[in-house]
Amino acid sequence: MRVSIGSLISTAVTLWAHSASAVDLKFYYANCAGLFGACQNIPAGQCCTASTAPGASVQSTGSDVYYTFTWPHASCSIGGSQSRSGGEGCIRPNWAAYAALWETQLLNRDEASITDKKECTEVDSFGFTDSKTGQDRLFPIPPTQRAQIMAALYRGDHEALRMTAGIFAEEEAY
């Protein structure tokens, strides 16, 4: 089997770009603002699920995002509906988004290949959009508070999540 230096370099660059990029994949309670659950620093092609607190909208934030995909079930797989958005745009599917992933342009893969069954990562953070700055504030989900935080996300309970994050009413209103 003969392999050219050019194809080896091209493959190495593609793999490096794919593994070096990571973004925050956010499942918002509303229209890409306000409360959200997130998979922080998730690599391209890695499925993220919000199985107990699906999003009304989804957004990938970070560098190298070419497409973001969402699904109405808790896996990133072929079958059923899926929605796609280019870049860091906000996806507002007409269903609750239970799973999502993002991809780079460098991979040049078709939609069928990115949705091969993969192990999914569950939401590991939660946050809010700061009403004063418009920036998102992100907090890790401690394992001991996971059920409580996911239930508050599902209910859209701003107050419970602010208390969990240690943010008090006088600091800012969400």
Strand partners, 85: 68
Q: Is 11 part of a structural domain of the chain?
A: yes
Number of structural domains, the chain? 1
Q: Are 127 and 36 in contact (CB under 8 A)?
A: yes
The parent domain of residue 25 ranges over 5-121
Q: Is 172 part of a structural domain of the chain?
A: no
The tens digit of pLDDT for each residue in 135-158 reads 889 999 999 999 999 999 999 998
Domain with residue 26: its CATH number is: 2.60.20
Q: Is 14 part of a structural domain of the chain?
A: yes
**Binning pLDDT at 50, 70 and 90, where does residue 79 land?**
low
Query: How much of the chain exceeds pLDDT 90, in percent?
Result: 32
Q: Is 136 part of a structural domain of the chain?
A: no
Q: What are the DSSP calls for 86-104, one per residue? A: ETTPPB--SS-B-EEEEE-
Please tell me whether residue 71 adopts helix, strand or coil conformation: strand
pLDDT of residue 142: 92
The tens digit of pLDDT for each residue in 34-51 reads 999 999 999 988 899 998
Question: Whole-number mean pLDDT of the chain?
Answer: 77
pLDDT of residue 12: 37
pLDDT of 33 higher than 70: yes
Average pLDDT over residues 87-108: 80
Q: Is 146 part of a structural domain of the chain?
A: no
Q: Is 141 part of a structural domain of the chain?
A: no
pLDDT of residue 149: 94
Please tell me the distance from the alpha carbon of residue 122 to that of residue 17, in angstroms, as a whole number: 24
Please tell me whether residue 105 adopts helix, strand or coil conformation: helix
- Tell me which residue of 136, 128, 125 sits closest to 158, measured CA to CA: 128
Provide Rg for the chain, Cα atoms.
17
The tens digit of pLDDT for each residue in 98-143 reads 999 888 875 544 554 554 556 789 999 999 988 888 888 999 999 9
Longest dimension (CA), the chain: 68
Q: Is 37 part of a structural domain of the chain?
A: yes
Q: Is 173 part of a structural domain of the chain?
A: no
